[in-house]
Amino acid sequence: MKNVFTPILIAYTSCLIAQQAPQYSLYSLNPYALNPAYAGLENTLVATGAYRQQWSGLLGAPVTQHANAHMPLYVISSGIGLKVENDAIGAHRTTQAALSYSYSLELGRTTLLSAGVSAGYMQYSLDGDKLRAPEGTYNEPNFNHNDQFLPEGRVKASTTFFEAGIFLQAQKLQAGISMQPVFSPALTIGGTDALKIEPVRHYFFYSSYTFDVGRNLNIKPSVLAKTDITETQAEISVVFQWNENIFAGASFRGFGERAKDATVIMAGLRLSEKTTLAYAFDIPLSPLNSANRGSHELLLRYSLNRPIGAGKLPPVIYNPRFL
């Protein structure tokens, strides 16, 4: 039983960590986290930090921390960025950092098409002290899995990875497609094939449009679709913003019985001219809803709110008298 059960357990948990990209409910406030082509498109320095506790109350549930910053390089019509992410699921932990570069092409006075790439370094660790085998001995002070495949203590593996994306930004429309990763070698724990993890490529599609309703209110619907070709999940959100200071909204994630995940309630406000705070709560709809108390996500965003350097020249406005 031990020889059959353990490889199945390892294969299952390895597949889970490799194929599950971190989930973010406040994705519309942080497009750069999903697409390197967004770097610099806000024409100022932007820094964002996010903390997510998923499936609160469920032992070993995912906990994610993310931080990034990006800014434009006007002189070469480009943008650069840096992002760092830590994602823990049970005994698994993935920590990664990446640098991004994007190049923008003007398609009109108010439309930009940007292409971007990221190169980064990823470290994966497995904490054997959090694992339990059917025939293990776990009576203190004795700790033994009695299984040659399961490690005792923490083991690690590292690799490089590359990401890519394109992003279209108009006056009210945003749309982007990205791949994470485009390429990344397999991670092998302990220098053998006993535990081998191959990062699975994910595709992200994001789009939003802003409608102005009166002088002080605007409505921003958005959609995010994620797929690894085998499984696909979509999320639709609507955010109402009042006077550019206070916003609230909701979203629904997962269409179909297998993909149904959560309904999300979100709200936020500008703490100052440069700082925005947002919070989202996920109400679970999946079969896990009986075992958790929902998910919490907190996001803090800083924007310098002014061009860096000389900036771009304003569009030419011709005087009708001289046409």
**22-31, 185-194, 246-255, 296-305: lowest mean pLDDT where?**
185-194
Domain at 2-295: CATH code:
2.40.160
**Tens digit of pLDDT for each residue in 34-72?**
999 999 999 999 999 999 999 998 888 899 999 999 999
State the burial class of residue 254 (Cβ atoms within 10 Å of its Cβ: 0-12, 13-18, 19+). middle
Q: Where do the domains of the chain lie?
A: 2-295
Between 145 and 213, where is the model more confident? Answer: 213
> For 159-192, what is each residue's pLDDT tens digit?
999 999 999 999 999 999 999 999 888 777 765 5
Span 132-159, average pLDDT: 79
Which of 128-132, 200-204, 247-251 ranks highest by mean pLDDT? 247-251
Question: Residue type at 159?
Answer: T
The tokens for 96 are: 């990664």
